[in-house]
A and B are shown apart, each in its own frame.
Chain A
Amino acid sequence: MGKLLYYELIKTFFKKRTYIGFLIAAIIVPLVEVAIKFEGDRFLQVATRRLQEDFFFIGNLFNGWFVSYQIMNALWVHVPLLISFVAGDLLAGEATAGTYRLLLIRPVSRTRIFLAKLGATVLYTFSFVSFLGVLSVGLALALLDSGDMIVIENGILILEESSVAWRFLVAFLLAVWPMLTIASIALLFSSFVDNAIGPIVATMGVLIVFLVLTVLPLEAFDSIRDGFFTKHMVLWQKVFADPIPWDDIQHSAIVLGIYTVVSCISAWVIFVKRDILS
């Protein structure tokens, strides 16, 4: 199994498509952070314009932590696209390239091949989110220094500097979870088509539909809205509350986990049973 996973990773990381997400992150994060550095305090003033009518801000609140948080907030809806580029290609890419005919005639079960692909998906997702985290936090701290962190969500919260680093660590670990849900949905679409573009488009379609249903203030959806995975994708944000609502985080993780498991099992069943005609 280890060897299968190793070669699945070789295939994944030798492919240029894999680095699209890394490349985009490597461009956009420094670009935004350098721009923010030169914009200076004005960025914080814009972000806190309404609050400044009632509060005085003292100390260095415009720092690396604050900017990293803003970037995470801005990117969480775009990262799924980059994840689906790779996850959507894992099975359908083999069909497109005709390499199913190379893989699936071996004395190794389709289940083991699927598990190796799933493992590669998990490792890719983890490495991409980690890269994003290390880049955005590391660069922001290098450019803008450290300090207490201001969180502006339904009010204002100042987190002491001593507690911020581990909160970011936990937030990035939690951010991997919804990305795995996205990856598993992409893998599901990838399992029954022979074209790698289809799963990417379909995954983004599902994400958009669920996002719209989540934010539309319609009573008709109130009773089922909690079941939409998009409602729980920002579970990482809850780490920046005080106290941290661990029960809420657990609930969101379970909902997302159900989507992930159902998608993976469905993808596995389809992959194992399908006729290879490509």
Chain B
Amino acid sequence: MSNDSILRTHNLSKQYKKRWAVKNLNLEVHRGDVFGFLGPNGAGKSTTIRMLLSLIKPATGEVELFGHRLHTDRARALRSVGGIVEKPDFYLYLSARKNLELIGALNGGTTKARIQEVLGLVGLKDRGSDKVKTYSHGMKQRLGIAQALLSDPELVILDEPTNGLDPQGMKEVRQLIQHLSQDRKKTIFLSSHLLNEIELVATRMAIINRGELVVQGSVQELLAKGDNYVVIEGSPATSIRKVLKSQRRIVQRFTERGGAFEVRMDFKNIPALNVALVRGEVKVGALIPKRSLEQYFLSLTDGQTSDR
């Protein structure tokens, strides 16, 4: 294990009857990463996370956390790890604070001040005495993050933490992840089926499909595998073509496909292109930015959805 690797899996596999849910998975998460773990629904993300957190036992292979083998040295391996697995479930008849006290005891002890701190971090300080059964889904999701942070772990594993949240809630979770990574120096392992979510926060990522690792690397590297393009919907086509040919500084190249134009260009030049199109008497219906990473992801996962 290299010095800054805090999570590694070695040929991790899990089989349910005859189906391989995860097969020969080799992941490596470095200290300080926001590691995006991306894959379509049913790809094996949750099964992998359950194996990382010792909820299920691998059929073969093993997990190493902070240099400790999970199978043989479970307590040490999990000492600096916090996590949420799938949806956040709690003891509904207990208050959030009592739930966190209980989890703290399982972590080896916690203080009331620490419980207040994590409740404050996720914006639940004023609702800590309320029973969890009175919480909305979004509040439970935030409480889930609070419990994952309770022991001040170095590695935080979050399994689809924005599931079921409204756009504002999703934005808040993303901001929290960035805060944890940048200000609190946590390493984040973030699973999602939303490419957009991973793109916005991750520094490194892995894509899994049908239980197998498809690709792993830095987000920059993966983005560099293609370029971004903008789809122009509008008319007349002759005017669009004329404008695109005249805008050499903005447009790298363009193609026509099914009545729409796909323009390779930097997204920051979209407003300038829009001005040029309007001046060229084009009736612009839409300018749609597309990331090649999405195409890349779709090509790697056989076109299975990455709901944006």
Contacts and interface: CB of A to CB of B under 8 A. Distances in A.
B215 interface: no
Contacts of A105: 53-55, 78, 81, 83, 85
Query: Which one of A97, A107, A108 has the highest number of Cβ atoms from chain B below 10 Å of its Cβ?
Result: A107
A105 B93 CA distance: 21
Contact of B94 (A14, A16, A106, A113): A14
B273 to A, nearest CB: 49
B108 A102 contact: no
A108 B93 contact: no
Contacts of B108: 107-108
B103 A106 contact: yes
Interface string A5-39: 01100110011100000000000000000000000
A4 B106 CA distance: 7
A104 interface: yes
A99 interface: yes
Interface in A101-115: 101-109, 113
B256 to A, nearest CB: 50
A210 interface: no
A10 B93 CA distance: 11
A107 B79 contact: yes
B75 A109 contact: yes
A6 B104 CA distance: 13
Interface residues of B, number: 33
A109 B74 contact: yes
A169 interface: no
Nearest to B109: A3
Contacts of B106: 4, 7, 103, 106, 108, 113
Interface string B24-54: 0000000000000000000000000010011
A97 B92 contact: yes
Contacts of B91: 11, 14, 97, 99
A106 B56 contact: no
Contacts of A97: 89, 91-92
A14 B106 CA distance: 18
Interface in B278-292: none
A277 B86 CA distance: 11
A11 B102 contact: yes
Interface string B72-103: 00111111010101110111111000100111
A276 B50 contact: yes
Given A7-B102, A11-B94, A276-B55, A107 B107 contact: yes
A85 to B, nearest CB: 16
Contacts of A7: 101-102, 105-106
Contact of B87 (A14, A98, A106, A277): A98
Interface of B: 50, 53-57, 74-79, 81, 83, 85-87, 89-94, 98, 101-103, 105-109, 147
28 contacts: A4-B105, A7-B102, A7-B105, A7-B106, A11-B91, A11-B102, A14-B93, A15-B93, A97-B89, A101-B85, A101-B89, A104-B54, A104-B55, A105-B55, A105-B83, A106-B103, A107-B74, A107-B75, A107-B76, A107-B77, A107-B78, A108-B75, A108-B107, A109-B74, A275-B55, A275-B57, A276-B50, A276-B55
Given A102-B147, A108-B107, 13 more contacts: A4-B105, A7-B101, A14-B91, A14-B93, A15-B93, A97-B91, A98-B89, A101-B85, A106-B103, A106-B107, A107-B75, A275-B55, A275-B57
3 A-B pairs with least C-beta separation: A98-B89, A275-B56, A106-B106
